[in-house]
Amino acid sequence: MIFDIISSTSFWYAVLRVSTPILFAALAAIVSNKAGVVNIAIEGTMLISSLTGVLFSAWTQSVFIGVSAAVAAGVLTALILAYFSLNLKTDITLTGIALNLFASGGTIFLLYLVTGDKGMSGSLKSLVVPSWDIPVIKNIPVIGEIISGHNLLTYLAFVSVIVVSVLLYRFPIGLRIRAVGEDEGAVASVGLNVTRIQYIALMLSGVLSGLGGAFMSMGYVSWFSKDMIAGRGFIALAAEAMGRGTPVGTMTAAMVFGFADALSNYLQALQISAELVMMIPYITTIIGLFIYSTKKKNNK
């Protein structure tokens, strides 16, 4: 039965689709972690961006403005995180927890004010980012069915893996970000502004989280519903750890979690208790983190 699922091309298509938000979020985690700032507010940032995308695309009837607004909201949230943790010296974990609480309640608050509904944005005519049939490749059997016809944001997520790699390892700002993460003191000693570099890293992290959030409400589904991120921002933190902070390793880990997520979606259609099946992505994450930490311990 599971074999039937895994051998179908539509399942692997779904793996790419559900990996998208985790991948965006995991890239966001890489960029901030490299600068020595653990951004646990990615979950809340994505939630805020999801709602922003829906609201702006519904108001302006423009997909581009919707996605841009979602990204802007992501950056704004990252700036708030940066201000409190870097300027006011609040513990970054507590700031993250606070932002996640705020995102969870604040989005419901705003949704209710706009739509009069506390659960879903169904009454808003929001837009969806279009999907793309890749020329030539779409005609190749199996491969075409798996990698063609995805949402543009899905392609952007995989392109972002390359962009983030190049940015971190080929550009001066990438070097600075990594240097701050390695040794703040050394960076400060050559006259660079550590706080400014961390601000930039967190803003980039906000851009990527914003795109992940936009995908959730303007691609994955076509509406906003409360707490719709459902832990993906945290799963991404696990993916970043398992990928040892490298973009390609993290992408692989994100796709493993995407696989678990897709499997859970598929199994729900069968005669298996939905509750048990819904645990799969979360248990996979715990097992993944566990395997990662046992290996890390052995290597020491």
**Residues at the contact surface with other proteins, assessed by CB under 8 A:** 40, 84, 87-91, 93-95, 97-99, 101-102, 104-106, 108-109, 112-113, 118, 230-231, 234-235, 237-238, 241, 273, 275-276, 278-279, 282-283, 285-286, 289-290, 292-294, 296-297
Q: How many CB atoms lie within 10 A of CB 269?
A: 10
For other proteins, the closer of residues 168 and 241 by Cβ is 241
Q: How far is CA 242 from CA 154, 175, 180, 249, 293, in A?
A: 21, 22, 21, 8, 8
For other proteins, the closer of residues 19 and 148 by Cβ is 19
Task: Please name the amino acid found at residue 86.
Answer: L
CB of 225 to other proteins, least distance (A): 12
For other proteins, the closer of residues 61 and 293 by Cβ is 293
CB 205 within 8 Å of CB 29: yes
State how far the Cα of 178 lies from the Cα of 165, in Å rounded to an integer.
12
For other proteins, the closer of residues 78 and 129 by Cβ is 78
Spell out the residues 6+ positions from residue 128 whose beta carbon is closer than 8 angstroms to its own. 63, 151, 218, 219, 222
CB of 255 to other proteins, least distance (A): 18
CB of 138 to other proteins, least distance (A): 36
Backbone angles phi, psi at 120, to 5 degrees: -140, 160
* Assigned token pair, 157: 């997520």
For other proteins, the closer of residues 174 and 233 by Cβ is 233
For other proteins, the closer of residues 9 and 90 by Cβ is 90
State how far the Cα of 166 lies from the Cα of 183, in Å rounded to an integer.
21
Partners of residue 120 on adjacent β-strands: 225
CB of 286 to other proteins, least distance (A): 5
Of 182, 157, 146, the residue nearest 247 (C-alpha): 157
CB of 63 to other proteins, least distance (A): 28
Task: Please name the amino acid found at residue 90.
Answer: T
CB of 24 to other proteins, least distance (A): 17
